[in-house]
Amino acid sequence: MSPEPRHIPEPGELVYRPRSSWAPAILAFALALTVCGIFAEGFMVRGWIYSIIGGIVALFAFRSIVRAAIADYRGLPRKQHARGAVLPVEQISSPAP
């Protein structure tokens, strides 16, 4: 018994991926610099200078992440007619004796 070919309609839902960005990596580096600035006292310059520079860079990187997220959100269509794929109903029968 060969299975019948079934036509399953494609789902009408669309997936929108965010754009790639260096901002999360820069944010992580800036936060690490901020924390390491506390322990880097006496290495080339004063430790609080590392913390201030890291904090400023972290704020700009976070601002970039938030702005990109807002721009991506505003770029989405206002209304999307979601049409899920209809799964075919299978008949379950008991095994033959």
Taking CA atoms, 4 is separated from 9, 53, 89, 95, in Å, by: 16, 67, 13, 20
Q: Is residue 10 part of a domain?
A: no
* pLDDT tens-digit profile, the chain (97 residues): 566 777 766 666 667 787 888 999 999 999 999 988 888 777 677 878 888 999 999 999 999 999 999 998 888 777 766 665 566 667 777 777 6
Dist. CA 69–CA 76, nearest whole Å: 11
The parent domain of residue 41 ranges over 23-74
Per-residue pLDDT, 5:
75
Q: Is residue 61 part of a domain?
A: yes
Q: Is residue 27 part of a domain?
A: yes
Per-residue pLDDT, 81:
65
Q: Is residue 49 part of a domain?
A: yes
| Number of domains, the chain | 1
Predicted TM-score (pTM) of the model is: 0.63
Per-residue pLDDT, 89:
67
Q: Is residue 96 part of a domain?
A: no
